[in-house]
Structure 1
Amino acid sequence: MKTFFFPETLSQIQNRDFGTQRYEQWIMTFQKKCSVLRLQDKDKESRICRALFLYTSHLRILNDALIINEHARTKDALEYLKGFFNNVRTAGFDEIEQGLTRRFEERLQELESISVDPSNENPKLKDLCFILQEEYHLNPETRTILFVKTRGLVDALKKWIEENSKLTFLKPEILTGRGKTTKDRGMTLPAQKCVLDAFRAHGEKKILIATSVADEGIDIAQCNLVILYEYVGNVIRMIQTRGRGRARGSKCFLVTSNADVIEKEKINLYKEKMMNDSILSLQEWDEKAFKKKIHQIQIHEKFIRDSQGKAEPKLDKKNKKLLCRKCKAFACHTADIRVIEESHYTVVGDAFKECFVTKLHPKPKSVGIFEKKAKVFCARQNCSHDWGIHVKYKTFEIPIIKIESFVVEDIATGEQRLYAKWRDFHFEKLPFDPAEMSK
């Protein structure tokens, strides 16, 4: 009997147009549901889950390219795709990936032609160029933060500024978050600090292109121009991003072609006015009455917290399997996992060594207690899913795995679950013991 799977039943997200962040959310939800798909035939389950993982991963990259094309240059979107398919060829590259790569290559010449056609120039980039030229003409000492929504756009706009003869004097720098996915590794905290220190100290870096990491908690006193490029959030984010412009006489521009974005910004402005009016109203209160009201609210909220309580997570002592999230190959049992300094997870025993392969780390270096040596990947043929890193810890060479790369399966029931962080997985966590390794 045939089994049919309908994508619409695996996600509640509707109105998912291509080239939007909403579509990316749909892809990610769909991919998670596919990863825990269970079939009686385990070989078939592995094949289907792996195929769906590949298809959704490619969809996500194609969606990123559409976003870049919409807000930057077609050339940048095409370079983004080329980089992705070059990486695909060096890892796994099974029949599905070969077919998807072939389809891209068949259209590559047409895409190259489109990318160099002057008639396809993005009008929003013309507007952005005009704003920057005008502001730096009025004040050559202007310092700018340009906010965008995605890391892909950060890279694309940096390249556009560097290749635009009218704007090269800006010498752009980038600032992004740490990254939560394999696709987007982002910047480390030391790298972020280095960029911010350079932007504050040196006048030659006149523009900082940033994602949401810079819209709160970062003080740049010299900044006097904030540009929101297709970038809008809630009223708090709006106030925070505009607040990045600390210098006297600072300005804020919103650049968008989306009517919904404009409407959302208008609503945020209205909410900001309501907030300011409320603050003025509160300042007219009698101080004694104000403190009494606050005390009443605090007592009420404490009562609610106490009545709800916070149940301690129940520790699951049952042994479970970790399966590769991409191909469902067996990796290890939870009984073989050990914890180093309460936050890093390794696997003991020789059996696990047969389940992974290593490749030299592209950026080997010492980080905290570890010396990064290599990357760890699934050993199953044509999978090569990223499982973590191989490090030197004291005198030991050990793998450090990340839970987001695995599906956790209950041995007794077959139930499968995904975890984004180790702290969310409440299993019996045994500490790493050097004596155990010595045996």
Structure 2
Amino acid sequence: MIATDIDINENNLVDMKPSLELMRLFPVFAQFRDEIRVLLETYAKEVDKDPRSLPDKELGTKELLTAFERYMYMKGKEDNDVELFEYQKELAREGCEGESVVIMAPTNSGKTYVGSRIMQVHLRRQKAQALLAKVIFVVENEALAFQQGKLFAKKLPAYRTKVFTGSVQRDKQQYLWDFLASRDIFVVTAQVLVNALKTGQIQSLTQFSLIVFDECHHSNQQHRYNEILWKYIEMKLQPGTDVAGLPQKRMMFSECFDDEPENPKLVKMGQILQDVLVADNTSRGIISVKTRELAKALVSWINETDNLKILHASEFVGQNVATSKGSMTKCKQKDALEYFKGGRHKVIIATSVAEEGLDIRKCNLVIRYEHVTNEIVRRQSIGRVRTDFSRYLVISEEGSWILDKEEENHRCEELMNPIVPHLQAFIDDRVNLWENELLTIQTEMKEERDREKERRRLNMVNQVQFQCLNCSAFICRSDDIKCIMGVHHIITDPDADERLRLERDAPYFVEPEGLEYGGQVYCANVSCQLKLGVICTFFKYKYIDFPLISLKAFRVVNPDGTGKSYKVWKNVPCKIADFTFDDLRDV
């Protein structure tokens, strides 16, 4: 038996066959043996065992080395308070007190610094009480993951941070669940966490003590954030659940044209670029567009126009498809941002990857070219223009739906601004009432969700089932499928997401009616992973993703248990209803 009060000496180390690296560091190892003993005792507490009764296999060289490495990591890593402005301290106050909060503040007001301070206070408190101290920070995309991970490593050096994205797991074979014991802060893309929960590699959200959602306004409908939050609510409302043991939550908030001067939109944008950027060498501008094809075309147009080429325009697009299809590598994204900040590129043309959260500070012109979304993104875009005499503009054809949507977003923003302080005051004045109402709402939502599941289960008797052709896993019923534009078939049942694995990607095709296609849909069965289709996104009215399925990937099963696969939808033994844009407004 090896206990924590062993005499750590060179003979013991030899007997345990330590690594060459550990032997090389032996003089330092021996020097800090008392500190290492404390770390080993902490380890024993974590596994809930008497330090004196740990068997060799649990407290051998690996654990000694792990404890030593952690000590050496902490040595010289001072846990200094994250410095905040007074308004940021106010934003962080309730979160630091352990409350579940939504932090709403203007773009570029330093919400990530606020989150860093909350995480720091949480980790200190949990470790001081010998409680679980693991923070998971959930973001939308890979670029944000690396950006926020770099910031946490700088601001919170005393805590070990690790970034996990799809490419990290795929290229480096490093997985979230393998690092749970050796890291304090996990910065992950939402899809990584969703997949880990689906496959059971992460058994429960209770493996983390704090969850922080970046850009939490995404938590609606079928978004990945919503999938995670439903897991949380279901745990919270489960009978017998110790709510105090649940993790705390923090919420952070294609076109064709030519070079001819007759194109009025390009003429107008050229005048704006000339007046704002060319005339001032310190100015910077961002042009936001919908597709990478348009971004590439505008870069060529600017760099080939005599009076604008001095701007050295550059594109900034996603990295989720092959570079041959127009994506950028991580290195190229980093270079583009650095060159923009340094002035080598005075204007960048960006797709949505640059619209949320990316740290682009030196900017006094934002143009949304034939591209608007909602009032939240509008607020973020306006927040990017940080200098005096800055300008935010939308360029589109007169009378287009884009201008109508922008006006609607403006009205929504004007309504939102006075409501927020009133809502905050209401919550502060009626804390108990608010908490009770919130619990009631969550309970009612769960009950309705359970009732809907039961209704669907009972209706399955008379419905045709769609099963994975490879593993026969149930995916959906026939009335969960709708036909769009008379051609494509999508699954509208939100519960089907539990049986599917979605890998989102940049769109490869955009419909003028407000649809775009991109990403992959797979069977969620870990031993199967058959590709079942692609992702269809409705973006004109609301950003909602639906699985668009390939019929040949399914086995269609009749109520009597017989079934077969089909190649064309007209031969399927059931009627598939149409899905209209009027239906979409009701979603």
TM over 0.5: no
Greater relative CO, 1 or 2 (CA 8 Å, sep 6+): 1
Question: TM-score range, shorter-chain basis?
Answer: 0.3 to 0.5
TM-score by length of 1: 0.45
